[in-house]
Amino acid sequence: MAEENILEVKPKKKPKKKVIEVNNLGVRFNMAEQKVDSLKEYFIRLVHRNLKYKEFWALRDVSFSIRKGDRVGILGLNGAGKSTLLKVIAGVLKATEGTVTVKESVVPLLELGAGFDKDYTGAENIYLYGSMLGYKREFIREKFDEIVKFSELGDFINVPVKNYSSGMRARLGFSIATIVDPQILILDEVLSVGDAKFKKKSANKLKKMMKSGVTVLLVSHQGDQVRTICNKAIILDHGKLIASGKAEEICDQYEEMISKKD
Amino acid sequence: MPTALKNFSKFRYLLYELIKKDIKLKYRSSILGVLWTLLEPLLTMIVLTIVFSGLLGKGDDNFPVYILCGRLLYSFFSTGTKTALKSIRKNSSTIKKVYVPKYMYPLASTFSSYMIFLISLIVLVGVAIYEKVTITPAILGAIFPLIMVFFLTLGVGLILSVLDVFFRDLEYLWTVVLMLIMYTCAIFYKVESLKSVTNEWIFKINPLYSLIVNFRNAIFGRPLDMYHFWYALAFSAAVMLFGSFLFYKKQDRFILYI
């Protein structure tokens, strides 16, 4: 990583520890040719031995590791398996084969506010969503004002979330998720939350986090975003890892790949 | 196992938040709010007393209290299992995006029904005093059916919540099963006083009936019936074990179906 930088004043550190390790990861989905979700249908098909599934590997034989402080871009076209990979790392989806080891706390900034209850007010949702992210009650209580302030919701914090605009919901979700300094941050595309003003604010917050040495995983299908944010990158294509390395080189390769496909 | 415990302790605030949410939202839009927890069983008791009060003889237990004992336990079992059944699918959008131990959802819904049930026991105490039912030390025995009914409901709820992910029509089927369970709970009559019971075995195999029998025994100052005690205990333990096992085995596949 930092090996070429010989003039560094500080004593040279060992390579940083691996925080995410992915070994031969494979994720298989059973795509039922017809959806069987009623008991009657299930038994009829069971008797006729007609329970066929089409197997589909969303990811296969993917191996890589990420060291602390790396900012890794995951490039690939639609359906390449990017989101599946993030879901496995976030712990939502289990690997069918292979292993994924994540050694630090992950904050997934995917679809902000997915854990909100629409009948609950913003204030109540702060506690609910915070507890889903594994925060302690006292911690949330302590940070409550800060979250409300950052979200800029003002008096709307006591209004049920069902009356929020999508921008307001995302703002609240972003404010709750980023109230801790996460060790691993997962981003699906670069965040565009709320209006121009809030966008700037959230971008600043993310920049500050990245400076503090957080590990970042960014999914994108544009080379430019990865170039500006990441130092490393991988390319996924049809569930396979086809390249990994420095962000610059990988982005070039990716762009070349796309232009060939056109 | 220690990792599972560590995980549970990390998310115990979530359990608390989920229970609070269930109870808060349940009564949010009603004027009388949480008072309905007391009013609803009281009103049902009055209706049942008016209609069926002839079904118990002179020397028998006090009728309103008799009804309430059965009715409260049954309605906890029924709402507890019904909400647990839907709990995974109801929270599907969260399950797909944020990692939390999935058993939290059926566990929280069973707990919140249990809280409401415990509050509604106030009605039983009130009616028992009003009807001058003599309280004896035997009432301490009530603790057993009260604990067992929780695990019975949780175990059945876990099983149902798993099955419902794969078979959507379970919800309707379960309503029918609940009806069968209700009528074999002898809520407003005595099994012994039925003129000709052709299917007496059906009362014997209903674990909820066993719990109700012993709950009544405790309230009316009689010793616990040992057949019903052991049967309910064994049944509750069995469904708890099987439910946990089934849930553990199938939980990773939920996300592919919801």
Give the pLDDT band (50/70/90) at residue B154.
Answer: very high
Higher pLDDT, B237 or A132: B237
List, for residues A12-48, the tens digit of each pLDDT value: 556 778 888 999 999 888 766 556 667 777 777 777 7
- CB atoms B25 and A37 under 8 Å: no
For chain A, counts of helices (H) and of strands (E): 8, 9
| 3-state secondary structure at position A184 | strand
pLDDT at B199: 72
Establish if B14 touches chain A: CB-CB under 8 angstroms: yes
Other beta carbons within 10 angstroms of residue A195's beta carbon come to 11
List A residues 157-186 in contact with B (Cβ-Cβ < 8 A): none
Q: Are residues B94 and A115, on separate chains, in Cβ contact within 8 Å?
A: yes
Q: What percent of chain A has pLDDT over 70?
A: 86
**Quick one: pLDDT band at residue A6, thresholds 50, 70, 90?**
very low
A111 touches chain B (CB under 8 A): yes
Q: Say whether A30 and B256 touch across the interface (CB within 8 A).
A: yes
Per-residue exposure over A86-112, b if at least 16 CB sit within 10 Å of its own CB, e if not: bbbbbebbebbebebebeeebbbbbeb
Across the interface, of A39, A114, A128, the residue whose CB is closest to B21 is: A128
Instruction: Kindly identify which residue of chain B lies nearest to residue A27, measuring between CA atoms.
Output: B256
- Looking at chain A, list the stretches that DSSP marks H as alpha helix, in order from N- to C-terminal side: 39-47, 82-90, 122-132, 137-151, 166-177, 196-211, 223-229, 247-261
Copy the structure tokens of residue A21.
């390790």
Domain ranges in chain B? 13-256
Q: Does B192 touch chain A (CB under 8 A)?
A: no
Nearest by CB to residue A92, choosing from B24, B28, B255, is B255
Q: CA-CA distance, A146 to A148, in Å (whole number)?
A: 5
Q: Is A136 on the interface with B (CB under 8 A)?
A: yes
Whether A39 and B170 lie within 8 Å, measured CB to CB: yes
The rounded distance, in Å, linking the Cα atoms of A226 and A235 is 11
- d(C-alpha B128, C-alpha B220), whole Å: 10
Q: Which of residues 74-93 of A touch B (CB under 8 A)?
A: 87, 90-93
* Interval B85-91 mean pLDDT: 93
**Hey, are the CB atoms on B10 and A94 less than 8 Å from each other?**
no
Lowest mean pLDDT among A40-44, A132-136, B72-76, B177-181: A40-44
pLDDT at A129 over 50: yes
Cβ–Cβ < 8 Å for A255, A262: no
Task: Compute the count of residue pairs across chains A and B with CB atoms less than 8 Å apart.
Answer: 72
Average of per-residue pLDDT values in chain B? 90
Q: Global pTM?
A: 0.86
Distance (Å, whole) CA A182 – CA B222: 59
Task: Tell which of B8, B9, B12, B17 to mutate to test the A interface (max A CBs under 10 Å).
Answer: B17
pLDDT of residue A3: 45
Task: Give the CA diameter of chain A.
Answer: 74
Summarize pLDDT for A190-209 with one digit per residue, the tens. 566 667 888 888 888 888 88
What is the mean predicted confidence (pLDDT) over B46-52? 88
Name the residue in chain A with its Cα closest to that of B18: A128
**Cβ contacts of B57 within 8 Å, gap of 6 or more:** B193
Cβ–Cβ of A29/B14 closer than 8 Å?
no
* Identity at A146, one-letter amino acid code: E
Q: Examine the pLDDT at A159 and tell me if it is beyond 80.
A: yes
pLDDT of residue B3: 79
SS (H, E, C) B47-114: HHHHHHHHHCCCCCCCHHHHHHHHHHHHHHHHHHHHHHHHHHHHCHHHHHHCCCCCCHHHHHHHHHHH
Sign of CA dihedral B159, B4, B111, B121: positive
Chain B, residues 154-183, CB within 8 A of chain A, namely 166-170, 173
The 10 Å Cβ neighbour count of residue B124 is 22
Distance from CA of B75 to the nearest CA of A (A): 25
Q: Which of A40, A114, A137 sits opposite B98 (nearest CB)?
A: A114
Residue B257 distance to chain A (closest CA, Å): 9
Residue that wins the pLDDT comparison between B169 and A33: B169
Residues of chain A in contact with residue B17, where contact means CB-CB under 8 angstroms, are: 127-128, 131
Residue A24's SS3 state is: strand
Q: Is the ipTM of this complex over 0.90?
A: no
Q: Using CB atoms, pick whichever of B97, B100, B170 lies closest to residue A110.
A: B97
Contact B68, B131 (CB under 8 A): no
Smallest Cα distance from A35 to chain B, Å: 10
- Supply φ then ψ for residue A8, to 5 degrees: -60, 135
Report the residue from A37, A111, A127 with minimal CB separation from B97: A111
pLDDT digits (tens, 9 = 90+) for B170-198: 999 999 999 999 988 988 888 777 766 67
Contact (Cβ atoms closer than 8 angstroms) between residue A99 and residue A23: yes
Letter for the amino acid at A110?
L
